[in-house]
Amino acid sequence: MLRVHRRQFVIGPSSFVTYEGWRSAELGSVVFSYDRDLRVQFETDRNGIRWAFVGIGAPVVPEHAQIAEQIRASGSGELEKAKHDWTGRWVLVSERTLLLDAGGYLGCHFGQDNASRWWASSSPALLSQITGRPYRDGKLAYQQGMSWYPPPMSCIERAHRLLPSQALDPKTGEVRPVRLVPDITPGRDESSILEELSEVLPQACKGLAEFGEPFWVGLSAGIDSRVVLAAAVNSGIEVKAFTWLADRTPIADRILPAQLCELAGIEHKYIETGPVIEGRRELFREHTGDALSEGDALPFLRGVRESLAGLCTGGQAFDISKAGRRGTFLDSTENPRLAAESMCRVFLESKRSVAADGFTRWLEWVNQHPEEHMDWRDRYQSEQRTAGWQSDKEQLYDTHTLERFAIINSGRINALLLSLSEESRLEFGYLTDLVRMMCPKLAELPTNPDPRTLIGRLGVLKHMLARPGQVLKRIRHKADRITRRARLLFD
């Protein structure tokens, strides 16, 4: 059963238990309020500071203690380093510090109410309700412009969104820089990097699987989800896989996932999509506010994944490892506004839009607090595509009982991936190598093959003719993009 504001939290000067089943606990002089279905562990560190570990998380290093034990054994400042070895979807919060997971999957918006008191929440809708601040003007577009508000901008006027490279003081609203990843080591032997990854990825699956069962992997014909499946199978946990079939699902995604699961000896199911369910749009808006475009919410609106229970992961967050946006974004961010406007052009967004303002603020922060050996375009994948766009999607799916996370959402894993040479990362061959190392059988089938190799030219033609509405939709979409590009020439 879906429920609005499931697994959300609020931090502020007083309790927020407006909804049935909400609870609250004091963290010094601030109060942490949370929904009953949100996983929360309260621990006190070596210095006597009380912390709340919120969400799902596990260490990726086999010999490391569980997160609760690490908190108890650490001094407060040591946790900023320890957190790099944790994966999952979580925040760590005390009276004076709030830290996000590596990609900001469990996000945090914060701002002041009319009495100048600071509040923070995983839910922009709740923060807007508490502070009385309205949403920003304008509607997010889907595939025709920006589909997220670039952090540290929030979708709420005069509010902010925390970046993974920031720590928030919940009491004062002040932010300070923290390391996004531990040390990146360019020049390290790549075979040793892959060897370490082939150990920590299964460990991540094994640790996260302790939070429930079954352990579902969203599987396509691509390489990212196959790496995750290989890690899960290698870990020895009970794993199942599913594939969502939409109108535009590629032919390879309709054929290969079941074959892969047969090779791995695990259960697979296809999930057919239906029309938008009545009342879903209202529930979507109430839960998320204006943080997400309707197109990005389409699986939710159509009830995808609601037949599943337990835990769910997939190939999310691998883009940080692929040396993307070379040639489309500027090489330099020396002029943040110029770089921001170039980003907007890529997304067919006006250089006068709030997106340009958000990107500018982010790039100014990036310039002030660089990460050694980390290209800003890789950082974009973490702090914008993941902490901005993907995080908003995950927040919507909190309405489900199914709990979602990304297994590679760890600073240590990101640092290992970024230690590979840019040439290797551009070619993606290292991902196939990882599959071969963790579950060789899964490397026997190609990734994203040309559909003609699967069903022949005639089969592809029949597939298209059977979906004339989808073909027309794609033609309209391309025409809209051409029109939007033409308008931007006069912007």
Q: Which sequence spans correspond to the domains of the chain?
A: 9-177, 190-320+388-453, 454-488
SS3 category, 404: strand
**Mean pLDDT within 65-69:** 95
**pLDDT(477) > 60:** no
Same fold, 9-177 and 190-320+388-453: no
Q: How confident is the model at residue 247 (pLDDT cuts 50, 70, 90)?
A: confident
**pLDDT(256) > 70:** yes
For residue 464, the model assigns a pLDDT of 46
Q: How confident is the model at residue 305 (pLDDT cuts 50, 70, 90)?
A: confident
Give the tokens for residue 89: 């979807």
For residue 480, the model assigns a pLDDT of 59
**pLDDT(144) > 90:** no
For residue 476, the model assigns a pLDDT of 56
Q: How far is CA 395 from CA 6, 123, 249, 312, in A?
A: 9, 7, 24, 14
For residue 246, the model assigns a pLDDT of 82
Q: With respect to CATH, is domain 190-320+388-453 assigned 3.20.20.70?
A: no
**Mean pLDDT within 287-294:** 88
Q: How confident is the model at residue 165 (pLDDT cuts 50, 70, 90)?
A: very high
Q: Residues near 115 by Cβ (< 8 Å), separated by ≥ 6? A: none
**pLDDT(486) > 60:** no
Find the angle CA(343)-CA(349)-CA(351) to the nearest 5 degrees.
Answer: 70
What whole-number distance in Å separates Cα of residue 328 and Cα of residue 162?
26
Greater confidence (415 vs 289) lies with 415
Q: Residues near 470 by Cβ (< 8 Å), separated by ≥ 6? A: 247, 248
For residue 248, the model assigns a pLDDT of 79
Q: What residue type is assigned to position 203 of the chain?
A: Q
Greater confidence (486 vs 28) lies with 28
**pLDDT(382) > 60:** yes
CB contact at 8 A, 340 and 360:
yes
- What mean pLDDT value characterizes the chain? 91
**pLDDT(200) > 90:** yes
Greater confidence (182 vs 353) lies with 182
For residue 491, the model assigns a pLDDT of 65
Question: Per-residue pLDDT tens for 273-286?
Answer: 889 999 999 999 99
For residue 483, the model assigns a pLDDT of 59
**Strand bridging mode 50-59 / 40-44:** antiparallel
**pLDDT(425) > 50:** yes
For residue 458, the model assigns a pLDDT of 47
For residue 490, the model assigns a pLDDT of 56
Q: How confident is the model at residue 460 (pLDDT cuts 50, 70, 90)?
A: very low
Q: Which CATH number fits domain 9-177: 1.20.950.20, 3.60.20.10, 3.10.300.10, 1.20.120.920?
A: 3.60.20.10
